[in-house]
Amino acid sequence: MTQLLDKVVWITGASSGIGEALTYEIARQGAKIILSSRRERELHRVKNHCPGESDNYKVLPLDLTKAETWKSSAEQAESFFGRVDILINNGGISQRSLASKTSIEIEREIMEVNFFSAIALTKYILPGMIARQSGHIIAISSLVGKFGTPFRSTYAASKHALHGYFDSLRAEVWQENIQVTLICPGYIQTNVSLNALTETGDKYNIMDKNQAEGLPASQCAKAIVKAIQLNKEEIYIGGKEIAGVYLKRLFPNLLSKIVRRIQP
């Protein structure tokens, strides 16, 4: 079992939702944490709620839409404690729009944030892990990364892409003692639907019923930390929506009929 005590963990999207809950859960394990997101004030709020010494937590503002900052951000992250032992690619954005009405510009933005930023940060942190022959990379995907649903076409595509990339990476770096874990949450109580992009790029600003009734983010965070500790390759977190993974595998036609009824 991987112990998190004194490990250096970099979490993107740490200012709210799953990222915030993960920060608290990992902090309780005695790790040193680098907190990143666009909202610096919120990062400091989260930091101030973490237990123990303040010096164990560093705030690193990061805008995942600005590719030109990714490399320097990774360098700064490594400079805080001299290394990054665990990278959690959690930052992302969802979607609530029809494929036929969504502009290619919005689709590129979703892919940039959800896919390209994750692989770029990984590529910048990976050399240090290889040199130390130790490390763990976590990608927060989604159950929608296993099967697509209406109003989330590009979001689903970005999460599917994470699976292809990180499954391949795992097969390449296992001899370097580097673990790769894909996390697939279902409905979790966060603001993900409020902040989802519409076809115009505006925020959706509506709380999905399933989201509001989903698992608490703290419960999701506990499951993620357990997966990290156990070096799991892939896990699913949620309620009855997890059944979609197995329906896709065994009864794909039935799943197709079910997802047609999904509303935004």
Catalytic sites, residue numbers: 155
**Max Cα distance, the chain (Å):** 54
Secondary structure percentages of the chain, helix, strand, coil, to 5: 50, 15, 35
Task: Give the ranges where the chain is alpha helix by DSSP (H).
Answer: 17-28, 40-48, 70-81, 104-111, 117-132, 153-173, 209-212, 217-229, 243-250, 252-259
Between CA 90 and CA 111 the distance in angstroms is 14
Decide if 5 contacts 225 (C-beta within 8 A).
no
Q: Which single residue is written with the structure tokens 């039935």?
A: 254
Q: Please name the amino acid found at residue 190.
A: T
Decide if 173 contacts 126 (C-beta within 8 A).
yes
Instruction: For residue 193, give both structure tokens.
Output: 């639907």
